[in-house]
Structure 1
Amino acid sequence: MISVFGRWYRRKFSDPDAAMLLILILITTAALLLWGELIMPVLVAAIVAYLLDWPVTHLVRFGVSRAIACGIVLMGFITLVIFMLIGLVPIVTRQSINLIQETPLIWQKAQDWILTLPEKYPDYVQVYQIHQMMEGLNDKLVGVGETLISASFSNIANVAALLVYAVLVPLMVFFMLKDKMYFLESISNLLPKERRLITQVGHEMNSQIANYIRGKVIEIVIVSLVSCVTFAFMDLRYAILLGVLVGISVLIPYIGAAVVTIPVAIVALFQWGLTPDFWYLFIAYSIIQALDGNLLVPLLFSEAVSLHPLYIIIAVLVFGGLWGFWGVFFAIPLATLVKAVITAWSSNPAGLPVAESK
């Protein structure tokens, strides 16, 4: 076994470039795990800078100086965010509060329906089974409610952190956009001479991450807007809140669509019951999901992310567990990075002969 591992190690890491790539990955992973929360504003600023680099580059091509182009694009982005916060957040907050207040009524109606099951299906459902299930669910709901309350109080302490993000992140974004080449050269000077595979993976991931961030933001906006308009047109309660949730759900492929279906179904069922309106809504909702997966995603991402669905789900679980929201957001690019690293290691080291099997 030791000899097998030794042959594998020599085959994969006999190239100094491959060893340097492994060391860089280990150092970066350790830094993120140890100081991830401290450097999170820097990572957020880098994400926004990736998002805004495309319009800045196009303004520069039209003859605008890079500093002025960065100022124009950043001010436009901040203005758009402020308008969204002023126009959208109050509506979503109000509808969220109303939904929370009506949750006991929805749960009571669900319990009344569950209690009718023994009468409808006496051969399959017994009364004592229903009561046991209801007691367990009630205990779970109480625990969830206590968790939400404690989380809401703990978030009050994050107001100072929010102010830090509001002030420091825009400044860092401006300098990252304005002095992009300076920072790239500085990073390049820090890298070792044995950088062939590092450069290969870096070039591949640079374009993929930038395209992914822009494409994912556009996808969220389009899906949210279409969902809100559809739900409002069909007179579904909490249309804006549910539409925003549907848009945000595209952050988590496959899993997000499955999870967000639950609140949409609960609200529609509570409002209409199993009536034609309920089924019309779900036909429209299914069309939105189908168009997103089969039309919008291929247009926005093309072949940039060619990963098997199982790998995507595993990436969401692993990176989401490590870094929460941002881990979920970057699950696909990080999975693509892992794939690029594995591909780079699997390639034949430059200048080294392929070992012949004896």
Structure 2
Amino acid sequence: MNRPITLPFYAKLSFILVILICFAFIFCTGKDIITPVLMAFLFAVLLLPIFTFLNTKFKFPRHLAAIVCLLIFLSFIVGILVFISYQVTYMANDFGTIKKNANSFIIEIHKFIRENFQVSIGEQKKYLDTVTKDSVKNGQATIISSIISISDVLLDSTIIVIYTFLFLIYKEHFKLFLAKLISPQNHTVLKDILSQIKVSVNNYIVSLIIEMLVVSVLTGLGLWIIGIKYFILLGLITGILNLIPYIGILIAGVITVLASLTGSADTSVILGILIVNIIVQFIDNNLLVPLIINSKVEINAFVSIMGIIVGGAAAGIAGMFLAIPLLAILKIIFDRIESLSPWGYLMGNHVPRKFRWRTRKAAVNN
């Protein structure tokens, strides 16, 4: 009978670090390929209850059930985009007012800088002209890069839809593949891991949607109170962009300020917008995220922030979006493998009890 090999701690730690470095290198090298696959996996997990319901209750064939799920999902996305595009087109009718108020607002800023920083309006305009000339020189390259970015987004979106369809119809095939990799005595653990991953990812995405809706309603209500014209559109945009950690709310704030110029260039309105965004973010960060998001994934704030930063550095906005569900999946796996359970505890949101170091002398006395 073969006896298991027992490795010292430093050897185990070395193996873990080497594996992490290899995974990081593979992901950074092939992020353009891996990111759409991971996004499709999350969407497939989200649509899995609908797929199972259609396949088992209504006896839809697997391919037809997957197609219906994708049509429902795409209809929801297209509906939001159509509503936003309609509202933006309606807002374009006020472009003249926006331009007029923007000019008035810029003049007020010039006066503020002149009075408080002793920089004349002529010097300010000279600096702006220099910046504008540099922007014009790079304008063609910017347009080309924007076109390439849009084409990449469309291509990735198409690939994600295809991958999601394939994940749904080959669900059992992938399960059997994992079962063949693992010895039969560990199949119970594998089944538990897969079940928990499905529940955790599903709950996380549903929680994000709930958070998006609540932030949209609160922002829209706040903008309506201070008299912003397109409060429904701006509230929805804020809720959607809030899904992007850190930078999303900043982009939404800039868009809201620009849209507020359809009414007037009064600085009090802009101040009101900033107050609304601060209040909504306070509610989101201190109430919605702890109650809705963190309660579902059970990842502590330190690991979440580190994961978002690393994900953003590795794969941009998509990496920031994928960071939390991937960390949740890793925690589920770590918690159910005895040798990796300390890492699962490190990632968790447990409240530790007072720890007493157990020295050899104390162990002997006990």
TM-score range, shorter chain: 0.5 to 0.7
Q: Name the counterpart of 2:180.
A: 189
Among residues 264, 271, 278, which one is paired with 1:271 in the alignment? 264
Q: In the alignment, which residue of structure 2 is the partner of 1:5?
A: none
Letter in 1 for 2:285: G
Aligned equivalents of 1:297, 1:267: Cα separation in 2: 28
**Where does 1:239-254 land on structure 2 (aligned, <5 Å)?**
239=231, 242-253=234-245
Greater shift, 300-309 or 179-188, is seen at: 300-309
Q: Which residue of 1 aligns with 2:32?
A: 37
Is residue 118–residue 127 contact of structure 1 (8 Å, CA) maintained in 2?
Answer: yes
1:87 paired residue number: 83
- Whole-Å separation in 2 of the counterparts to 1:202 and 1:107: 57
Q: Which residue of 1 aligns with 2:364?
A: none
In structure 1, what is the Cα distance between the partners aligned to 2:114 and 2:129? 19
1:321 matched residue in structure 2: 313
Question: How far apart are 1:49 and its partner, in Å?
Answer: 0.8
Identify the residue that residue 55 of structure 1 maps to in structure 2.
Answer: 50
Kindly state the Cα deviation for residue 173 of structure 1 after the two structures are TM-superposed: 1.8
Aligned residue for 1:251, secondary structure, equals coil
**Alpha-carbon separation, structure 2, partners of 1:259 and 1:226:** 17
Structure 1 window deviating more from structure 2 (244-253 vs 233-242): it is 233-242
Greater RCO (Cα-Cα under 8 Å, separation 6 or more):
1
Q: Does 1:106 align with 2:102?
A: yes
Q: CA RMSD in A?
A: 4.8
Distance change >3 Å, CA 250–CA 132, structure 1 → 2? same
Q: Secondary structure at the match of 1:318?
A: helix
The answer to whether the Cα contact below 8 Å between 1:92 and 1:240 also exists between their aligned partners in 2 is: no
Q: State the match for 1:46 in structure 2.
A: 41
Indicate the residue corresponding to 1:219 in structure 2: 211
CA distance 1:186–1:77, change in 2 (3 Å): same
Alpha-carbon distance in structure 1 between the residues aligned to 2:123 and 2:146: 35
Correspondence 1:56-205 to 2 at 5 A: 56-59=51-54, 62=57, 64-65=59-60, 67=62, 68-92=64-88, 95=91, 102=98, 106=102, 109-119=105-115, 125-127=117-119, 139=130, 150-157=141-148, 161=152, 164-165=155-156, 167-190=158-181
Q: Bigger CA drift: 315-324 or 147-156? A: 147-156
- One-letter amino acid of the structure 1 residue matched with residue 30 of structure 2: W
Q: Is the 8 A contact 1:205 1:337 kept in 2?
A: yes
Q: Distance in 1 between matches of 2:93 and 2:137?
A: 16
Paired position in structure 2 for 1:6: none
Q: TM-score, normalised by structure 2?
A: 0.67
Number of aligned residue pairs: 334
Contact 2:84 2:233 in 1 (8 A): no
Q: CA deviation at 1:319?
A: 1.5
Q: Which runs of 5+ in 1 are unaligned?
A: 1-8, 349-354
Deviation per CA, 1:20-79: give whole Å up to 9, x if none.
x66664444333222221344433322321221233345556464572543332221122
Is the CA contact (8 Å cut-off) linking 2:66 and 2:169 kept in structure 1?
Answer: yes
Distance change (3 Å), C-alpha of 1:258 and 1:168: closer
| Counterparts of 1:52 and 1:161, CA distance in 2 | 25
Q: CA deviation at 1:189?
A: 3.3
Any unmatched runs of 5+ in structure 2? 1-6, 344-357, 362-366
Q: Closer, same or farther in 2 for the Cα pair 1:42/1:195, shift >3 Å? A: same
Alpha-carbon distance, 1:216 to partner: 1.8
More deviation in 298-307 or 29-38? Answer: 298-307
- Other structure's SS at 2:296 match: coil
Q: Is the 8 A contact 1:91 1:240 kept in 2?
A: no
Identity of matched residues, %: 22
2:201 aligned partner: 209
| CA gap 1:76/1:335 in 2 versus in 1, 3 angstroms | closer
Q: CA separation in 2, counterparts of 1:143 and 1:240?
A: 37
1:332 to 305, 324, 328: 324
Q: In 1, distance between residues paired with 2:125 and 2:301?
A: 35
Counterpart of 1:3? none
What per-residue deviation string (whole Å, max 9, x for no partner) do you get for residues 177-199 of structure 1?
13312112224435699989x96
